[in-house]
């Protein structure tokens, strides 16, 4: 702020001039407007806060939507993996049943001798 001034005294003079202009404006202001301006300032600050929080909530809900999509995708991958495992188990089971039938036939032939 003070970079545009050549010295600190220039900045101080500028500040005093601005304060005196501010006081002149306050003196010209109708005292009936002060409560109204206070209320409007407060209302403006609250409105900005609500909009800021609303944007954060919207961001949060979009993140939750992304997480839901990720969970659904992971669920589909898990289901596909389970189907593949079930198919492998069925193949092993049929192979074991075939071998068991072969062994049973062998035992039957050995017992009949």
d(CA 73, CA 79): 10
In a domain, 104, yes or no: yes
Answer whether 0.75 is exceeded by the pTM. Answer: no
68-103 tens-digit pLDDT: 999 999 999 999 999 999 999 999 999 999 999 999
In a domain, 16, yes or no: no
In a domain, 11, yes or no: no
DSSP one-letter code for 7: S
Which pLDDT value is given to residue 73?
93
Backbone angles phi, psi at 5, to 5 degrees: -95, 150
In a domain, 22, yes or no: no
* Structural domain span for residue 107: 31-112
In a domain, 96, yes or no: yes
Domain count, the chain: 1
Least confident of 6-20, 23-37, 72-86, 91-105: 6-20
In a domain, 1, yes or no: no
d(CA 89, CA 93): 6
Res. 2 pLDDT band, cuts 50 70 90? very low
């Amino acid at each position: 702020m003070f970079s545009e001034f050549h010295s600190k005294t220039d900045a101080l003079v500028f500040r005093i001039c601005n304060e005196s202009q501010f006081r002149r404006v306050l003196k010209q202001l109708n005292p009936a407007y002060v409560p109204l301006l206070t209320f409007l300032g407060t209302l403006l600050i609250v409105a900005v806060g609500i909009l800021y929080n609303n944007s954060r909530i919207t961001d949060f809900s979009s993140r939750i939507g992304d997480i839901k999509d990720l969970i659904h995708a992971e669920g589909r991958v898990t289901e596909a993996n389970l189907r593949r495992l079930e198919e492998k188990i069925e193949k092993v089971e049929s192979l074991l049943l075939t071998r068991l039938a072969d062994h049973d036939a062998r035992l039957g032939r050995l017992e009949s001798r």
